[in-house]
């Protein structure tokens, strides 16, 4: 796909667990002009599962131009399921620090029912956010994440955690017909290395880029992420 000679390629960005899209700012700031980002935010006051979010996202997809989906963390299974439905115009799927099933190896899916709203009514603690998500020297980002998460209803966060712990999108991943790029974080303390390996094992045809970053790689290494995503999208043939 020669994006230099045509209009910018629309990139539908699907956010992490917070669902606000506000944490994409660093990544958006370094995207090249031949990529046109369109950030989707999920309702912060309605506890929606993956099934509920599919039509919400599909309503935001372009109808008359090619586009790619770039999905971060929680949104990976959602993007996979949407891509498996083969929406017209979809040319690529980019999966960033995400998973296809059983995302957290040290947290069994059987514990998902315990993710209740009362657990998320306390203000989020910066220290675990820094350890699992933002990484070393990530104090500023960890504080920003805590501020953003406070704006989301506890019942919403609880529902998303339960959905993530129990989702299984392996069959849908096999049905995705467009090129896939897996972007994983080398120092991901939340998902560990197994999540990216599972994606790559299920889709050996996918391109894979590992970035030396913690889980929130789009926020900690936005330039490196853009340098991985943009060439991949430029390499595509006509939709």
Position 126 in a domain:
yes
Residues forming beta bridges with residue 101, ordered by sequence position: 168
Q: What is the pLDDT of residue 194?
A: 94
Position 2 in a domain:
no
CA distance 36 to 31: 8
Q: Tokens in use for 202? A: 């299920």
Q: What is the pLDDT of residue 193?
A: 93
| Overall domain count for the chain | 1
Domain residue limits at 151: 9-234
Model confidence, pTM = 0.92
Position 56 in a domain:
yes
Position 3 in a domain:
no
Position 239 in a domain:
no
130 within 8 A of 214, measured Cβ to Cβ: no
Averaged over 6-16, what is the pLDDT? 95
Query: pLDDT tens-digit profile of 62-101?
Result: 999 999 999 999 999 999 999 999 999 999 999 999 999 9
Position 41 in a domain:
yes
Please report, for the domain that includes residue 70, its CATH number.
Answer: 3.40.50.1820
Position 144 in a domain:
yes
Averaged over 132-138, what is the pLDDT? 89
Position 1 in a domain:
no
CA distance 234 to 231: 5
Ranges 50-54, 110-114, 224-228: which has the least confidence: 110-114
158 within 8 A of 112, measured Cβ to Cβ: no
């Amino acid at each position: 796909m020669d994006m230099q000679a045509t209009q910018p390629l629309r990139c539908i960005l699907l956010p992490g667990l917070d669902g606000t899209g506000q944490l994409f700012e660093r990544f958006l700031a370094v995207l090249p002009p031949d990529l046109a980002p369109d950030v989707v935010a999920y309702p912060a006051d309605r506890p929606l599962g993956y099934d509920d979010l599919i039509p919400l996202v599909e309503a935001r997809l372009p109808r008359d131009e090619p586009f790619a989906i770039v999905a971060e963390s929680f949104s990976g299974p959602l993007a996979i399921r949407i891509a498996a439905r083969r929406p017209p115009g979809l040319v690529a799927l980019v999966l960033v620090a995400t998973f296809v099933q059983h995302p957290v190896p040290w947290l069994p899916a059987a514990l998902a029912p315990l993710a209740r709203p009362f657990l998320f009514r306390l203000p989020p603690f910066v220290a675990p956010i820094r350890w699992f998500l933002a990484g070393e020297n990530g104090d500023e980002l960890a504080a920003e994440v805590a501020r953003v998460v406070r704006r989301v209803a506890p019942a919403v966060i609880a529902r998303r955690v339960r959905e993530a712990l129990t989702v299984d999108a392996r069959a849908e991943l096999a049905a995705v017909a467009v090129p896939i790029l897996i972007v994983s974080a080398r120092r991901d303390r939340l998902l560990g290395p197994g999540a990216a390996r599972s994606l790559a094992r299920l889709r050996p045809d996918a391109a894979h880029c590992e970035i030396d970053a913690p889980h929130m790689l789009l926020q900690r290494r936005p330039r490196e992420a853009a340098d991985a995503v943009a060439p991949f999208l430029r390499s595509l043939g006509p939709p």
